[in-house]
Amino acid sequence: MAEESRDGYADGPHEPDSQAVTQPVYALNLFNVADRDEYLAYSRRSHQEVMAHGGKVVALGKFREAAAGSIEPRAVMILVEWASKAAFESYRDDPKLADLHPHRVNGTRDYVWHLFDKLEDLRPILK
């Protein structure tokens, strides 16, 4: 289970890796919209800021159905590819965006924000 770090963000179990700072990562965002106007205020500006910080939205989705597993469904899925974990952190922690992130927080509920290392195949996991 992920523990909350001192900055208020979840910091799940992971092993430090010298390449982890520079290799691409995917950010999986799952959430429900709680306040349409708040989330619109976030989304109008976030796409440009994500790109400026080294991210690219690679998929958007609306929940269809649960095929397996017991996670509580969220209505929205956004998958962002970041140039690196450092790029993701620069977006998340940029003081110039301090007025942006509250719109995401206030516009959503049940937010899941998980990072995954980009892999070319499953060998690193199956070794």
The model's pLDDT over 73-125, given as tens digits with 9 standing for 90+, comes to 999 999 999 999 999 999 999 999 999 999 999 999 999 999 999 999 898 89
Sheet architecture: strand order including 55-62: 55-62, 76-82, 25-33, 108-117
Mean pLDDT over residues 43-71, rounded? Answer: 96
Whether the model clears a pTM of 0.75, i.e. scores above it, the answer is yes
How far are the Cα atoms of 47, 64, 104 from residue 77, in angstroms, in the given order?
15, 11, 14
pLDDT score for 8? 39
Domains of the chain plus CATH, in order, are: 26-120 (3.30.70.100)
Q: 26 forms bridges with which residues in the sheet?
A: 81, 116
Distance from C-alpha of 117 to C-alpha of 20, rounded to nearest angstrom: 8
What pLDDT score was predicted for residue 127?
A: 87
Eight-class DSSP state of 123: H
Q: Which residues contact 103 (CB under 8 A, 6 or more apart)?
A: 38, 39, 41, 42
